Structure 1
Amino acid sequence: MQENTPPSRPDPGAGYPPALALVGSRALVVGGTRGLGAAVVRRLAAAGADVWAAGRSAPPTALPARLLLLDATAAEAPGLLADAVAEAGGLDILVHVVGGSSAPAGGHAALTDADWQRELEINLLTAVRIDRALVPALSAATDRGAIVHVGSIQARMPIHDGTLAYAAAKAALRTYSKGLANELAPRGVRVNMVSPGGIENESKSALALRLAQAEGLSPEEGEQKIFDLLGGVPLGRFADPDEIAEAVGFLVSDAAASIVGTELVVDGGTIKTV
């Protein structure tokens, strides 16, 4: 594991009302060096948190966080993170952003056991293992502990072509997150979930390309296919990572002090059922 110290930050927490400020909180964002994870890091740091960002690769641009370069899916990762938290003096906020899908398109028959295992590892079991290692530190945070799991609306409306295993893993994460919330609330740790719909990022482009290649479509037609598979997005666009990071920042703040075991959906209206 490689560690780096963060750049200095001017006046952290300025501009945030007291209920949303995170001054004095220590946060760890797993999968926090790129994409949505980096957006979450910036949001928490702007609100005043002292942030650790764990990820496999260094961020393309500097982040206001200490970096822990490791593979969160590796067997040794939970122990390494627990050691880092102990050395830092404890933990108040844990955000799991690690996830994604690299399975081939083609429906259930195209998915091998290895595909299923890989999707379960990155989208469910990594969070389970890291939670198990870090909950003791969060429980010691004097009624300030907060965990946020990043899920997906596919837990409720799976796309069969290309991301079925991912959707099933996120559905399991949703159930696990709810159960963990009920267990940890009496210990002062609030557990919630943020479930995005489509995100305007590299993963969306990669999925569009996989779908396009599988059906002989252009990249643009592959992107349209994602919209079509979702049944359309009433807002007319996918969410920006910073918009999803705002939802995470709210859930870990005192403004959400009585919110436990909920799922905050950020999908532009994609889920149309009650």
Structure 2
Amino acid sequence: MNPFISLEGKPALVTSGTRGAGAATVKLFRELGAQVLTSARSKPEDLPAGMFVGVDLTTPEGCAKLAQAVRERLGGVDIIVHMLGGSSAPAGGYEALTDKEWRKELDLNLMPAIRLDRELVPAMTAHGSGVVIHVTSIQRVMPLPEATIGYAAAKAALSSYSKSLSKLVSPKGVRVVRVSPGWIATEGSVHFAERLAEQQGVSVETSTKMIMDSLGGIPIGRPASTDEVASLIAFVASDRAGSITGTEYVIDGGTVPTV
């Protein structure tokens, strides 16, 4: 019996694939037969050297180095998953964010996707096939203004850019899809709750409840798992989703309260 989803033989790039949902996506892609290359600033012990590139994607030089590694090791890609993202900005709303903090949020959450797409997507359109997946966030429509105003704005920009890209390259055979997670049970989410607790002078349990309350709660009663996010990404990357482009898939347990 043929598997429902197969990525057999497909070369794929997954940025930030060493932790959290990124690591889960790399693992699942490999299980489904993809030839995966991933990146981060430092290499984990459990990844073969040939699968990994150590780069800082917040810089133009890091993006160029990764794109060159894709061409040399994979000969190009069929799938790009832009998983990289996050926030290190201080709490305190717009008054707390200096120009430097705004630049850090944009350089982490927006510019790597723009730079890597510019390097790699032209070869995909020339070949007439491929999938680009931008991992955004529900915060683009539900920002946490006291804590992640810069992150939310950067993810909103990424979403708008992704839609524009889809209109340009879908007629040339390349699909562009957004996956928009809500709260995910990752090490990063724990660290965020710990940072917020320190900034607010409260316990981690209280800061976690603050985050959940600020999102309006999660109707299913829990955050998404990294494996659930990876499964959605694998589906939209597969041939089963061959007519899906230019749209966004939200995986948030029902957090976003509007249609």
TM-score for both structures, normalised by structure 2: 0.95
Q: Does 1:83 align with 2:68?
A: yes
Residue matched to 1:179: 164
Give the C-alpha shift of residue 79 in structure 1: 2.2
Residue matched to 1:203: 188
- Contact map agreement 1:28 1:95 (CA 8 A) in 2: yes
Query: Which of the numbers 216, 228, 238 marks the counterpart of 2:223?
Result: 238
Residue matched to 1:53: 38
Amino acid at match of 1:163: T
Moved over 3 A (4+): 60-65
Residue matched to 2:109: 123
Q: Does 1:112 align with 2:95?
A: no
Cα distance change, pair 125–160 in 1 and its aligned pair in 2 (3 A): same
Query: Which of the numbers 203, 206, 219 marks the counterpart of 1:221?
Result: 206
TM-score for both structures, normalised by structure 1: 0.90
Q: Does 1:30 align with 2:20?
A: no
Give the C-alpha shift of residue 60 in structure 1: 5.0
Q: Does 1:152 align with 2:137?
A: yes
Q: Cα deviations across residues 211-256 of structure 1 (Å, max 9, x unaligned)?
A: 2222221111111111011010001111111100111101110111
Mapped to 1, the partners of 2:15 and 2:194 lie a distance apart of 26
Give the C-alpha shift of residue 108 in structure 1: 1.4
Mapped to 1, the partners of 2:2 and 2:83 lie a distance apart of 26
Cα distance change, pair 64–149 in 1 and its aligned pair in 2 (3 A): farther
Q: Cα deviations across residues 81-117 of structure 1 (Å, max 9, x unaligned)?
A: 2322222222100000110000111121111111111
SS in 1 for 2:37: strand
- Contact map agreement 1:30 1:95 (CA 8 A) in 2: yes
- Contact map agreement 1:31 1:54 (CA 8 A) in 2: yes
More helix by share: 2
Mapped to 1, the partners of 2:147 and 2:45 lie a distance apart of 28
- Contact map agreement 2:76 2:120 (CA 8 A) in 1: no
Mapped to 1, the partners of 2:45 and 2:78 lie a distance apart of 27
Residue matched to 1:7: none
Cα distance change, pair 15–62 in 1 and its aligned pair in 2 (3 A): farther
Count of aligned pairs between the two proteins? 258
Moved more, 82-91 or 233-242: 82-91
**Structure 2 unaligned regions, length at least 5:** none
Residue matched to 1:266: 251
- RMSD of equivalent CA atoms: 1.7
Residue matched to 1:4: none
Equivalent residues in 2 for 1:65-76, closer than 5 Å: 66-76=51-61
Equivalent residues in 2 for 1:157-168, closer than 5 Å: 157-168=142-153
Mapped to 1, the partners of 2:22 and 2:44 lie a distance apart of 10
SS in 1 for 2:147: helix
Residue matched to 1:16: 3
Residue matched to 2:119: 133
Mapped to 1, the partners of 2:168 and 2:92 lie a distance apart of 39
